[in-house]
Amino acid sequence: MKSFVRERNFLILLTGLLINGVGGGVYAVSGMLLVLHLTENVLFSGLAYFSITLASTLAFLVAPFANYVTYKKGLIVSGLLKSALLFTIPLFYLTVGLNVFYVLVLLFVVALVSQFTYPIESTITPIIVGQDHIIKANSFLHTIREGMGIAFLAGAGILVVFVGPVHAIFITAICHLLTSITYLFFNFQQPSLPESKDSFTQLLSSYTNDLKAGIQYIQHSLIPKMIVSIVFVNLAMGIMVPNLPAFALIKGNENEAIYGLYLASLSFGIMIGAILTPRIKELDFGRLVISSFSITGMMWIGAAIFPVVPSIVLFCTGAISIGIINILIFSAIQQQVETSYIGRVITVLSSAAAIGAPFGGLIGGMIGSTFTPIVPVFLCGVAMIIFSLSWLSSSILRKLPRIEDARLFPNHLSEKV
């Protein structure tokens, strides 16, 4: 047990993430299935994914406002708001009825609120555990979260079969409420806030300056060189993900629980990646990306072709690289960026990288409804191989050393030294 694991605030953060893991597992299965049930059309699953991922591309408009509330208050209020919004789904279902377009809008709003909390969670982790423990702490959190997520997702698939997606979303709402209560017990140092006397114009100006600062911070780093290829990966994932519910129904002979197993296998693969990360972080990052994503592509092509059992195994294996790369890039940013800039840098990066996802959802919905949901999964596998080849063709990305030696922000590092 590492020292940070026993730290009070870290345990509170971990508890909140685990509760969210329960709700998130149920929501991941029930949200997309609810849209599919209401319409029986994969195209609307694509629209649902578009709604959710569009919020990620707008994160740069929302997340900087996190600088104007204490971290603790921001997490608590966001959880309460998401809980209240999700409670309306079972409420309307039992009273006036549920409209698919209302569900699509609600999915977007809930995802948009989440964009407010992501940079806060990213910022408080190094505050709680210290700079020296970031990689180990992130690996620990991802391992625990994804490990529990496997059971949650698999269980959620079975739960939805018995109670239906609407009542399952009610469970997610309760989980967000419990998470807000848990975060009430945080006691780490909170940031100073702008004076309450500031006018809206002044706050807006300050917000704009924060946003520009985040963009300028990464302008002369290696991040812009990575963004184009990451956008391509998100486009490919966007084509695949909205088709997974219908894809799982085809593979599992209309058994809805199979969708939960596919999502659980995805989490299991990411968890394996998180476990492996501290052990392989010494490898050259460029070569690691190239080799791991080429394997991912082959695994997911196989998942599209083979029957359900080998398909789930291959789908899981292909997800390992995602767990590895996410933690390494995320940890490098946390280590190399000043604490006051972490939230802004991650927001700008995630917003830019997420541009491909909503459009991928629309394309995937059209491909899945026109042909079969199997085709988008196959195409996503092909795209992963193309992604690895793009890194191979770039001398800068191909030659990146181990992540702790890869100076993503060379100017800022030199200034700090």
Asked if residue 121 has pLDDT above 80, the reply is no
**Residue with structure tokens 């009070």?**
8
Which of the given ranges, 88-102, 328-342, 387-401, has the highest pLDDT on average? 88-102
Residue pair 30/356 in contact by the 8 Å Cβ criterion: no
- Least confident interval from 200-214, 258-272, 382-396: 200-214
How would DSSP label each residue in 320-371?
HHHHHHHHHHHHHHHHHS-HHHHHHHHHHHHHHHTTHHHHHHHHHHHHHHHS
102 or 216, greater pLDDT: 102
What is the percent of the chain where pLDDT is above 90? 29
What distance in Å separates the CA atoms of residue 345 and residue 24, rounded to the nearest whole number? 25
What distance in Å separates the CA atoms of residue 132 and residue 62, rounded to the nearest whole number? 30
Parse the chain into domains and list their residue ranges: 3-188+204-416
Tokens of 60: 């740069």
Buried b (16+ CB within 10 A) or exposed e, 77-104: bbbbbbbebbbebbebbeeeebebeebb
315 or 141, greater pLDDT: 315
For 213-234, what is the mean pLDDT? 79
Residue 83: predicted pLDDT: 95
The domain 3-188+204-416 having CATH identifier 3.30.1330.10: the answer here is no
- Least confident interval from 33-47, 112-126, 315-329: 112-126
Q: How far is CA 287 from the centre of its chain?
A: 24
Residue 177: predicted pLDDT: 95
How would DSSP label each residue in 393-408?
H-HHHHT---TTT--S
Residue 414: predicted pLDDT: 39
Distance between first and last Cα of the chain = 32
DSSP H helices in 184-243? 200-219, 223-240
For 310-323, what is the mean pLDDT? 93
- For residue 113, name the pLDDT band (cuts at 50, 70, 90): confident
Asked if residue 128 has pLDDT above 60, the reply is yes
Asked if residue 6 has pLDDT above 50, the reply is yes
What distance in Å separates the CA atoms of residue 338 and residue 69, rounded to the nearest whole number? 19
Kindly report, residue by residue over 325-366, the tens digit of the pLDDT: 877 877 777 777 776 677 677 767 777 777 888 899 999 999
Residue 364: predicted pLDDT: 93
For 184-210, what is the mean pLDDT? 68
200 or 87, greater pLDDT: 87
Which of the given ranges, 111-115, 203-207, 236-240, 322-326, has the highest pLDDT on average? 236-240
Asked if residue 381 has pLDDT above 80, the reply is yes
Buried b (16+ CB within 10 A) or exposed e, 221-233: bbbeebbebbbbb
Q: What are the backbone dihedrals phi and psi of residue 257, each rounded to the nearest 5 degrees, phi first?
A: -65, -25
What is the percent of the chain where pLDDT is above 70? 85
What distance in Å separates the CA atoms of residue 54 and residue 359, rounded to the nearest whole number? 9
Amino acid of residue 368: G
- For residue 193, name the pLDDT band (cuts at 50, 70, 90): low
DSSP, collapsed to helix, strand or coil, labels residue 188 as coil
Residue 417: predicted pLDDT: 35
Asked if residue 276 has pLDDT above 80, the reply is yes
Residue 87: predicted pLDDT: 95
Q: What are the backbone dihedrals phi and psi of residue 347, each rounded to the nearest 5 degrees, phi first?
A: -65, -50
> Which sign does the torsion angle of CA 364, 370, 375, 379 carry?
negative
For 251-272, what is the mean pLDDT? 85
Asked if residue 413 has pLDDT above 50, the reply is no
pLDDT, averaged across the chain: 82
Which of these, 343, 319, 320, 317, lies nearest to 330 by C-alpha position?
343
